[in-house]
Structure formats: C-alpha cells, structure tokens
Structure 1
Amino acid sequence: MTLFERVAAHLPRPAALCAAAALMAGAAHAQPVTFETAEGAMELPTVPETIVAYELASVDTLAALGHVPAGVPGPIYVPHIAEQAADAETVGTLFEPDFEAVAAMQPDLIVVGLRSLKQKDALERIAPVADMSVGPDAVTDGLARLEAFGALLGEEEKADELAAQVEEKLAAARDAVAELGGNALIVLTNGPKVSAYGEGSRFGWIHSQLNWPAAADYIDATTHGEAISFEYIAEVNPDTLIVVDRGAAIQADTQSGLTTLDNELVHSTTAWKEGRVLFVPAAEMYISSGGVQSLMTVLDAITEGLAETAS
C-alpha cells in the first residue's frame, strides 16, 4: 500500500483527496534540482529556501529574479543591491564570512564568487556551496548564471525575460559603438594612480562583446591592470576613454577619477577634446560585474554616454 493509500484509508473521502493532493505537492517540491555552476553541474535535494550569497553579482541576479538572499556580505557598495537587500542579514564581508552567523541561519545553499572562493571549503562544513564566479567575460558568464539561477529556483520564464532585456541593451550599445565609439582605452583610477585594461582582462568584455576596437593591443591582461602614466594615455590617444573609478566604487575617501585625469596630457587626446570620456557606473563595473541588473546599468550608461557626445 502506498503512502497516499495509507493516508486515505483513515480519512473521509473529501479529506483524503485533500491530504493526497498536499502530499503530492510536497513530493513534487522535494524533487532534486540540478543547475550549472562555474565548476559544472550541481544537484540539491530540493529548491533552496534559505540562500546565503557572498557574490554580489549573484545577489544582484537573485534579486532580479525575486529571490533576495537571506544572508549577504557587507558593506554592499552597489546602491540598487543595497536597497533590494536591505532586510537581509549581514553575514561577514566579501572576503571573510561570519561562520557563526551563517550556521545559525541553517541555509540550504551558500553562494561564493571570486572574492570569497578561498572560503568555499570551510563554508561547505555548514551547507552546500555553489561557485557562481563571474570571469573576464561578464556578459557570457552573467547570462549563464542567470539561466542557472532560473533553473534552480523554477524561474526560467523570468530568467528568459531578463536575458532578452540584456541582449536588447547589448545590441543598442553595439550600434552606438559602431557609429560613435571609434577605438577605446579602458582605465581604472585608484586615487592618483591609473591602470589600463585590455582585451582578456576583467573589463575586456567591453571590447569583445561590444565589438569595440582597442586603442592599444599590448596591455597585459592582469587582474589589477597594467600601471600606466598620463604620457601613455597621450601616446595611445584613444577616440574614447572609458574610466572605472575604483575610489567611487568602494566609497573611498580619495581623489576622484575626474580630478586624476584632469591634466594637460589627457586633455591632448581625441577622447577628451571630443567629449568621449565615459565614466561608467563604478560599483556595477568593479564590484558586481556580471549581475544582470549591473550589466544593464553599464550598457545603458555606455549607450547614453556615446549618444550625448554626438549631441
């Protein structure tokens, strides 16, 4: 005799039908779920109800899907994520989890990324851990993580809608680049210091995904960029200068990127003379790159920024 039959045998028919329906719904909810991570396919015994996420791109995408994690790192430097996760519990920083706080939450899943990956083994003593890191190609990886979270949470339709929005904004940015962008040099300012990022770097997707020619093709693809001088910027003479202000991204009390670049050597470039110095949204580019909302914010800024230079 099945479980449903045993329950039904001791109940009046209407109650038996209701009980059977509830048991069937519970059984369906408890089905294993498989989703893709940065390390391959991962299976959980059921859809997770309590998620702790140490990857802000993941917090961004989960929030867009309507599933804000119960636990997040702090501080959250990205304004829209901080607002959406205002009611979540702070469980450490991006680099250092608060293990006691996480254990107390009894999560069904913990999400890590590049900044928290070193803590994966320790966190696995508490709950299953998914590596949802975003690599240099923030668009490809970001869309892959969106699809994975959609599959994990039964939000495939919403994930498809968000992916379509990203593709639409990608197309608009590509058109703007083709018409107005020329070639580009990507720099990160950190107070008075400046580093350049080329194809294959953490910001290189701007070149590869937007078909944006690089003004210089000999920049090392290192994590922290290649330290450069203002003379270098003048020599490269980009048509567009794309700026990521790290100080603004992490809300540091330091010299702004605009102040750093406001000098005669940078003024001599085509980018400065023609008003194509684009300060992309710093936190979305530096902290939560690959999050679906962050991607759309950056793409909009590029499209709108180039359009403004033509007006």
Structure 2
Amino acid sequence: MFKKIFKYLLPALLLVVLVACGEKKTEKKAEATKPSEITVGDIKITVNPKKVVVFDNGALDTLDALGLGEKVIGAPVKNLPAYLKKYKKVENAGGIKEPDLEKINQLKPDLILISGRQQDFQEKLSKIAPTLFLSLDEKDVWASTKENILTLGKIFDKEKLAKEKIDSLEENILKVKKEAEASKKTALVVMANEGQLSAFGSGSRFGIINDVFGFAPADKEIKSSTHGQGVNYEYISQKNPDLLFIVDRTKAIGGDSSKNNIADNALVKETNAGKNGGVIELQADVWYLSGGGLESTQLMLDDVEKGLK
C-alpha cells in the first residue's frame, strides 16, 4: 500500500522541488540584474550606500521613515529639529551652513545629502564622496517632494516602500485640502524674527499651505522671496485673515523671541483669526529647518489642520 502511495507522490514531490529550484534561480537572476550603481542628474551613486552624511533634514526624515536611519553616520547635530533629535548621537558633521570638511573626510561616507544651505560647498564635498542636492521647487513643491522621496527610494533599494508612503501621505493631504477648500477660510503665513515680520504666499518657501494644502491666500499679491515680504501689524489688520499661521524663526535657531508674541498684538486680536482662535503657531524647527520629507510633510499637515478644527 505504502509503495503505491509513494509511486504517485514521488512525481508530485519532484515537481515541487523543481518549481522551488526554479523560483530560487529566478530570484538570484533578478538580484544579479539589479544595477550596482545609478545616476542621478550627472552624479553616479552606488546603490544602497552603507555610510551617509546628511545635511538635508527632509532627506534625513525620509531615510528615517524608510527604516534607513542606521546608515546615517553624520549630520549637523546642533541644528536638528526636535522630531529628529535621536540623530544627535551621530557624528557632528559641522554647522548647517558650513560643513566640517575635515571631519566629513574622516568619516569616509559613501554619499552626502545636502540642502540649499550647503550648496556653496557642493564642489568641495563632491571630492570626498558623491554629493546630492535634492532641491525643492517652490512653484511645485509637492511634485518635487515626491520626486526626491522616490530618488532616495531608488538609491537605497526601497522604491516600493517609498511609493507606499507617498500614497498614504497624499491621501492625507487630499483629505485636508478638501476640507480647507470647503471651509473657504483665508490664510496668511507670517514669519517672526526678533520683532520683525515677513509674509509668505503662494510659490514661496511656505507656499505649501496654499499650493498643496488648499488654504485660500489672504493676500494673492505677496512677492515671493527667500526671506519673505516685509510687513507690519497694520498689514495683517488690513488683510484680516481667517487663519494666521506663524513661524517663529528665533525659536528654530535661537535668539530673542520676546518681541514675537504676535497673538497678543491689539490689531491681530481684532482680525477674524484673532477673534476666532485662528492664530496658530507652527512648529518652527520643522517649518524653518526642515521640509520636503515624508515625516516633515506630515508634521506640517498636522499643524495646519488645527485651523480646520
């Protein structure tokens, strides 16, 4: 009886073994065909680099979200936003505007990721390791954010996970955008810096509030510039926004923030925002020191969503 059963089972067992062997060969072949190097722009980068120095906080939080934090060996640790504080334990690679070239050279990274603040050092850094500047297009910030995230996904062989994370984030963005547009609330973004005020609108460094999250601008004529358009409290009163979003620069980088109490100003209190709890202080270290990453974009979204509650 056993011999008869074995007679019929043997071909099936052989088939299972052959299929398994075939699958393993296919997997090995797929692994073998994966490129060991990719080109981003004109920069050649080894796929899945093991040691990375990161100056761009948006790139750092994307690496973190993709489970790649252990690859980060250096960063400007004194200028990290609070949500990335666990990376203060890595080697200090210099200031946010002036990388420590000697230290970075000693670290022997496989890749260096920079932001616009370190762009003047790109050539010198490139002599140490491939140096990638993942810029954000302020005119189309969400598209360039997605492109940067996918680029990192490709470099670190995490493209599938990167796409899944983007899809989830985009779903959250669309939800808030729909609510913001339906609310018809006008919004004004102001940065405070030791008593000085500057406004930012569509197409600016903080334009994501209008251009991606869907809040109608209280002023459509704000001139787009790196440091914003200089304004005063009378300007805020005239524009009378329903929501006044504040970025306190001094809280992000240090300084005297005693003159930045915008919500306490008499003119601000008389605006729609002041009367209806619409003066919202954003997480300054996220908005001023980061952005363009998976985690930072979600944190920004959480911040502005407070204006819809």
Q: Taking structure 1 as the reference length, what is the TM-score of the superposition?
A: 0.83
Cross-structure match for 2:22: none
SS at match of 2:179: helix
Displacement of 1:202: 0.7
**Larger helix share, 1 or 2:** 2
Cross-structure match for 2:51: 50
**Which of the numbers 81, 95, 98 marks the counterpart of 2:97?**
95
CA shift digits 1:187-238 (9 cap, x unpaired): 1111211110111111112111123221112211010001101001101111
Instruction: Decide which moves more: 240-249 or 131-140.
Output: 131-140
- The 8 Å contact of residues 34 and 152 in structure 1, kept in 2 or not, is answered as yes
Displacement of 1:42: 3.7
- The 8 Å contact of residues 78 and 88 in structure 2, kept in 1 or not, is answered as no
- The 8 Å contact of residues 197 and 231 in structure 2, kept in 1 or not, is answered as yes
Cross-structure match for 2:125: 123
Displacement of 1:256: 6.2
* Matched ranges for 1:1-311 at <5 A: 28=32, 31-34=35-38, 36=40, 40=41, 42-68=43-69, 69-83=72-86, 85-136=87-138, 137-180=140-183, 182-255=185-258, 257=260, 259-303=261-305, 305-308=306-309
**Structure having the higher Rg:** 2
Displacement of 1:65: 1.1
- The 8 Å contact of residues 190 and 247 in structure 1, kept in 2 or not, is answered as yes
Unmatched tracts of structure 2, length 5 or more: 1-24
- For residues 248 and 135 of structure 1, the distance between their equivalents in structure 2, rounded to whole angstroms, comes to 26
- For residues 104 and 253 of structure 1, the distance between their equivalents in structure 2, rounded to whole angstroms, comes to 36
CA shift digits 1:271-295 (9 cap, x unpaired): 1111111222211111111121011
Displacement of 1:253: 4.1
Unmatched tracts of structure 1, length 5 or more: 1-20
- For residues 179 and 283 of structure 2, the distance between their equivalents in structure 1, rounded to whole angstroms, comes to 18
* Number of residues of Structure 1 aligned to a counterpart in Structure 2: 279
CA RMSD of superposed structures (Å): 2.2
- For residues 113 and 281 of structure 1, the distance between their equivalents in structure 2, rounded to whole angstroms, comes to 20
Amino acid at match of 1:158: L
